[in-house]
Protein backbone atom coordinates (compact mmCIF):
# COMPACT_ATOMS: atom_id res chain seq x y z
CA UNK A 1 0.00 0.00 0.00
CA UNK A 2 1.55 3.29 -1.09
CA UNK A 3 1.99 6.08 1.43
CA UNK A 4 -0.22 9.06 0.64
CA UNK A 5 1.69 12.27 -0.09
CA UNK A 6 -1.43 14.30 0.66
CA UNK A 7 -1.93 12.74 4.08
CA UNK A 8 1.78 13.23 4.78
CA UNK A 9 1.48 16.91 3.86
CA UNK A 10 -1.59 17.33 6.05
CA UNK A 11 0.13 15.62 8.99
CA UNK A 12 2.87 18.27 8.68
CA UNK A 13 0.31 21.10 8.40
CA UNK A 14 1.40 21.76 4.83
CA UNK A 15 -0.55 22.59 1.71
CA UNK A 16 -1.26 19.67 -0.63
CA UNK A 17 -0.94 20.93 -4.21
CA UNK A 18 -2.12 19.23 -7.39
CA UNK A 19 -3.51 19.80 -10.84
CA UNK A 20 -6.23 18.39 -13.09
CA UNK A 21 -4.98 16.07 -15.84
CA UNK A 22 -7.25 15.83 -18.87
CA UNK A 23 -4.75 14.06 -21.12
CA UNK A 24 -5.19 10.32 -21.62
CA UNK A 25 -1.51 9.82 -22.46
CA UNK A 26 0.29 7.98 -19.63
CA UNK A 27 3.52 9.79 -20.50
CA UNK A 28 2.04 13.04 -19.17
CA UNK A 29 1.18 11.29 -15.90
CA UNK A 30 4.67 9.80 -15.63
CA UNK A 31 6.21 13.25 -16.04
CA UNK A 32 3.90 14.91 -13.52
CA UNK A 33 4.45 12.10 -11.00
CA UNK A 34 8.07 13.22 -10.72
CA UNK A 35 7.62 17.00 -10.53
CA UNK A 36 7.08 17.38 -6.80
CA UNK A 37 3.31 17.86 -6.95
CA UNK A 38 1.41 16.07 -4.20
CA UNK A 39 -1.43 14.75 -6.34
CA UNK A 40 -3.03 14.74 -9.75
CA UNK A 41 -6.77 14.76 -10.30
CA UNK A 42 -8.15 12.32 -12.87
CA UNK A 43 -11.79 13.05 -13.65
CA UNK A 44 -14.30 10.41 -14.75
CA UNK A 45 -17.37 12.56 -14.14
CA UNK A 46 -17.12 14.77 -17.23
CA UNK A 47 -14.47 13.17 -19.43
CA UNK A 48 -14.75 10.26 -21.84
CA UNK A 49 -12.18 8.19 -19.93
CA UNK A 50 -13.05 4.55 -19.33
CA UNK A 51 -12.04 2.62 -16.22
CA UNK A 52 -9.46 0.79 -18.32
CA UNK A 53 -7.92 4.09 -19.46
CA UNK A 54 -8.00 5.36 -15.89
CA UNK A 55 -6.18 2.27 -14.60
CA UNK A 56 -3.42 2.78 -17.17
CA UNK A 57 -3.01 6.40 -16.05
CA UNK A 58 -2.96 5.36 -12.39
CA UNK A 59 -0.27 2.77 -13.21
CA UNK A 60 1.85 5.48 -14.85
CA UNK A 61 1.65 7.55 -11.66
CA UNK A 62 3.48 4.81 -9.77
CA UNK A 63 6.70 5.83 -11.53
CA UNK A 64 6.82 8.64 -8.96
CA UNK A 65 5.33 9.08 -5.51
CA UNK A 66 2.34 11.23 -6.41
CA UNK A 67 -1.24 10.63 -5.20
CA UNK A 68 -4.10 10.02 -7.61
CA UNK A 69 -7.32 11.88 -6.79
CA UNK A 70 -10.08 10.16 -8.74
CA UNK A 71 -13.55 11.55 -9.32
CA UNK A 72 -16.53 9.38 -10.24
CA UNK A 73 -19.89 10.79 -11.23
CA UNK A 74 -22.49 11.43 -8.56
CA UNK A 75 -24.03 8.26 -7.07
CA UNK A 76 -21.41 6.02 -8.67
CA UNK A 77 -20.63 4.38 -5.36
CA UNK A 78 -19.49 1.03 -6.77
CA UNK A 79 -17.03 2.72 -9.13
CA UNK A 80 -15.16 4.26 -6.19
CA UNK A 81 -13.97 0.83 -5.05
CA UNK A 82 -12.57 0.06 -8.49
CA UNK A 83 -10.86 3.46 -8.60
CA UNK A 84 -9.18 2.74 -5.27
CA UNK A 85 -8.19 -0.77 -6.32
CA UNK A 86 -6.51 0.65 -9.45
CA UNK A 87 -4.39 2.94 -7.30
CA UNK A 88 -6.28 6.06 -6.24
CA UNK A 89 -5.25 7.53 -2.90
CA UNK A 90 -8.13 9.99 -2.84
CA UNK A 91 -11.75 10.06 -3.95
CA UNK A 92 -13.37 13.34 -4.98
CA UNK A 93 -17.11 12.81 -4.77
CA UNK A 94 -19.13 15.41 -6.73
CA UNK A 95 -22.36 17.31 -6.08
CA UNK A 96 -22.98 15.98 -2.58
CA UNK A 97 -26.02 17.66 -1.03
CA UNK A 98 -26.69 15.86 2.25
CA UNK A 99 -25.06 14.10 5.17
CA UNK A 100 -26.84 10.88 4.19
CA UNK A 101 -25.23 11.01 0.76
CA UNK A 102 -21.81 11.55 2.35
CA UNK A 103 -22.40 8.50 4.56
CA UNK A 104 -22.96 6.41 1.44
CA UNK A 105 -19.64 7.62 0.05
CA UNK A 106 -17.83 6.46 3.19
CA UNK A 107 -19.76 3.20 3.22
CA UNK A 108 -18.48 2.27 -0.24
CA UNK A 109 -14.96 3.73 -0.04
CA UNK A 110 -13.76 2.57 3.39
CA UNK A 111 -13.33 -0.91 4.83
CA UNK A 112 -14.81 -2.05 8.16
CA UNK A 113 -15.17 -0.51 10.72
CA UNK A 114 -15.56 2.83 8.89
CA UNK A 115 -17.50 1.41 5.95
CA UNK A 116 -18.47 -1.61 3.91
CA UNK A 117 -16.09 -1.43 0.97
CA UNK A 118 -15.90 -4.69 -0.93
CA UNK A 119 -12.75 -6.73 -0.45
CA UNK A 120 -10.47 -7.88 -3.26
CA UNK A 121 -6.87 -7.69 -2.07
CA UNK A 122 -5.29 -8.74 -5.36
CA UNK A 123 -5.31 -5.41 -7.17
CA UNK A 124 -2.77 -2.66 -7.68
CA UNK A 125 -3.52 -0.89 -4.40
CA UNK A 126 -2.37 -3.99 -2.48
CA UNK A 127 0.63 -4.57 -4.74
CA UNK A 128 -1.31 -7.49 -6.22
CA UNK A 129 -1.72 -9.40 -2.98
CA UNK A 130 1.51 -8.44 -1.20
CA UNK A 131 -0.09 -7.73 2.18
CA UNK A 132 -2.32 -9.91 4.32
CA UNK A 133 -6.02 -9.10 4.35
CA UNK A 134 -5.85 -7.48 7.77
CA UNK A 135 -2.84 -5.34 6.95
CA UNK A 136 -4.28 -4.36 3.59
CA UNK A 137 -7.64 -3.20 4.87
CA UNK A 138 -6.05 -1.25 7.73
CA UNK A 139 -3.47 0.40 5.49
CA UNK A 140 -6.13 1.19 2.90
CA UNK A 141 -8.27 2.96 5.49
CA UNK A 142 -5.25 4.87 6.81
CA UNK A 143 -3.70 5.87 3.48
CA UNK A 144 -6.79 6.85 1.48
CA UNK A 145 -8.64 10.12 1.85
CA UNK A 146 -12.13 11.25 0.93
CA UNK A 147 -12.98 14.73 -0.33
CA UNK A 148 -16.65 15.64 -0.62
CA UNK A 149 -17.56 18.35 -3.10
CA UNK A 150 -19.95 21.13 -2.17
CA UNK A 151 -20.99 22.51 -5.54
CA UNK A 152 -24.51 23.93 -5.37
CA UNK A 153 -26.42 26.58 -3.44
CA UNK A 154 -28.64 23.76 -2.14
CA UNK A 155 -25.66 22.04 -0.55
CA UNK A 156 -24.32 25.05 1.35
CA UNK A 157 -26.76 24.76 4.31
CA UNK A 158 -25.71 21.11 4.72
CA UNK A 159 -21.95 21.71 4.65
CA UNK A 160 -21.49 21.44 8.41
CA UNK A 161 -23.49 18.22 8.66
CA UNK A 162 -21.53 16.71 5.76
CA UNK A 163 -18.21 17.68 7.33
CA UNK A 164 -19.15 15.98 10.58
CA UNK A 165 -19.53 12.54 8.96
CA UNK A 166 -16.80 10.19 10.16
CA UNK A 167 -14.49 9.27 7.31
CA UNK A 168 -14.90 12.55 5.45
CA UNK A 169 -11.45 14.12 5.37
CA UNK A 170 -12.05 17.21 3.28
CA UNK A 171 -14.80 19.52 2.02
CA UNK A 172 -13.99 20.60 -1.52
CA UNK A 173 -15.74 23.68 -2.89
CA UNK A 174 -16.50 23.43 -6.61
CA UNK A 175 -16.49 26.99 -8.04
CA UNK A 176 -17.37 25.94 -11.59
CA UNK A 177 -20.63 24.16 -10.85
CA UNK A 178 -21.50 26.61 -8.07
CA UNK A 179 -21.21 29.58 -10.41
CA UNK A 180 -23.17 27.80 -13.15
CA UNK A 181 -25.97 26.74 -10.80
CA UNK A 182 -26.11 30.31 -9.48
CA UNK A 183 -26.68 31.68 -12.97
CA UNK A 184 -23.15 33.08 -13.25
CA UNK A 185 -21.33 30.40 -15.22
CA UNK A 186 -17.58 30.93 -15.16
CA UNK A 187 -17.61 33.84 -12.73
CA UNK A 188 -15.64 31.88 -10.17
CA UNK A 189 -14.29 35.02 -8.50
CA UNK A 190 -17.64 36.74 -8.10
CA UNK A 191 -18.16 37.94 -4.54
CA UNK A 192 -21.08 35.57 -3.93
CA UNK A 193 -19.04 32.58 -5.12
CA UNK A 194 -16.12 33.55 -2.89
CA UNK A 195 -18.51 33.99 0.03
CA UNK A 196 -19.88 30.49 -0.54
CA UNK A 197 -16.32 29.15 -0.50
CA UNK A 198 -15.86 30.85 2.84
CA UNK A 199 -18.94 29.13 4.26
CA UNK A 200 -17.57 25.75 3.17
CA UNK A 201 -14.14 26.56 4.61
CA UNK A 202 -15.70 27.50 7.95
CA UNK A 203 -17.80 24.33 8.00
CA UNK A 204 -14.70 22.20 7.42
CA UNK A 205 -12.72 24.02 10.11
CA UNK A 206 -15.54 23.68 12.62
CA UNK A 207 -15.54 19.91 12.15
CA UNK A 208 -11.75 19.66 12.22
CA UNK A 209 -11.64 18.68 8.54
CA UNK A 210 -9.62 19.99 5.62
CA UNK A 211 -10.85 22.53 3.09
CA UNK A 212 -9.98 22.29 -0.58
CA UNK A 213 -10.93 23.89 -3.88
CA UNK A 214 -9.91 24.59 -7.47
CA UNK A 215 -7.88 27.74 -8.17
CA UNK A 216 -6.86 29.41 -11.41
CA UNK A 217 -3.97 31.75 -10.57
CA UNK A 218 -1.67 32.68 -7.70
CA UNK A 219 -3.91 35.50 -6.45
CA UNK A 220 -6.87 33.14 -6.35
CA UNK A 221 -4.70 30.56 -4.57
CA UNK A 222 -3.65 33.05 -1.91
CA UNK A 223 -7.27 34.01 -1.27
CA UNK A 224 -8.25 30.38 -0.72
CA UNK A 225 -5.22 29.66 1.45
CA UNK A 226 -6.17 32.66 3.58
CA UNK A 227 -9.56 30.98 4.02
CA UNK A 228 -7.70 27.92 5.27
CA UNK A 229 -7.38 25.76 2.15
CA UNK A 230 -5.02 22.81 2.59
CA UNK A 231 -5.84 21.06 -0.70
CA UNK A 232 -5.60 23.01 -3.94
CA UNK A 233 -6.08 21.92 -7.54
CA UNK A 234 -4.29 24.58 -9.57
CA UNK A 235 -5.77 24.75 -13.09
CA UNK A 236 -5.32 21.90 -15.59
CA UNK A 237 -2.65 20.40 -17.80
CA UNK A 238 -4.32 21.66 -20.99
CA UNK A 239 -4.30 25.24 -19.70
CA UNK A 240 -0.58 25.07 -18.92
CA UNK A 241 0.04 23.44 -22.29
CA UNK A 242 -1.79 26.18 -24.19
CA UNK A 243 -0.16 28.94 -22.14
CA UNK A 244 3.34 27.60 -22.79
CA UNK A 245 2.89 27.51 -26.55
CA UNK A 246 1.16 30.88 -26.69
CA UNK A 247 4.13 32.29 -24.78
CA UNK A 248 6.50 30.65 -27.26
CA UNK A 249 4.66 32.22 -30.22
CA UNK A 250 4.72 35.62 -28.49
CA UNK A 251 8.49 35.35 -27.97
CA UNK A 252 9.01 34.53 -31.66
CA UNK A 253 6.87 37.50 -32.62
CA UNK A 254 8.92 39.78 -30.35
CA UNK A 255 12.37 38.59 -31.34
CA UNK A 256 11.95 37.48 -34.96
CA UNK A 257 8.79 39.15 -36.21
CA UNK A 258 7.18 35.73 -36.60
CA UNK A 259 3.44 35.80 -37.15
CA UNK A 260 0.87 33.02 -37.24
CA UNK A 261 -1.17 35.13 -39.68
CA UNK A 262 0.01 34.39 -43.23
pTM of the model: 0.94
Q: What is the pLDDT along the chain (262 residues), one digit of tens a residue?
A: 789 999 999 999 999 999 999 999 999 999 999 999 999 999 999 988 999 999 999 999 999 999 999 999 999 999 999 999 999 999 999 999 999 999 999 999 999 999 999 999 999 999 899 989 999 999 999 999 999 999 999 999 999 999 999 999 999 999 999 999 999 999 999 999 999 999 999 999 999 999 999 999 999 999 999 999 999 999 999 999 999 999 999 999 999 888 765 5
Cβ 144 vs Cβ 89: under 8 Å: yes
Spans of all domains in the chain: 5-256
Q: What is the CATH number of domain 5-256?
A: 3.20.20.60
Strand partners, 147: 92, 170
Amino acid sequence: MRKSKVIEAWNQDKLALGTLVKSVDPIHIEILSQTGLDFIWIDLEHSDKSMETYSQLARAARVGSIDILARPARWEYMRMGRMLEAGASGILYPRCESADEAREVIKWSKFHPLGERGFDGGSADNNYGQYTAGDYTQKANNETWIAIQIESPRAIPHAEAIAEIEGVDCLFFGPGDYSALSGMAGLVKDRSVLQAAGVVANAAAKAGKKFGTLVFDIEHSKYMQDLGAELLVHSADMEFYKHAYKQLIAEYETHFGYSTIK
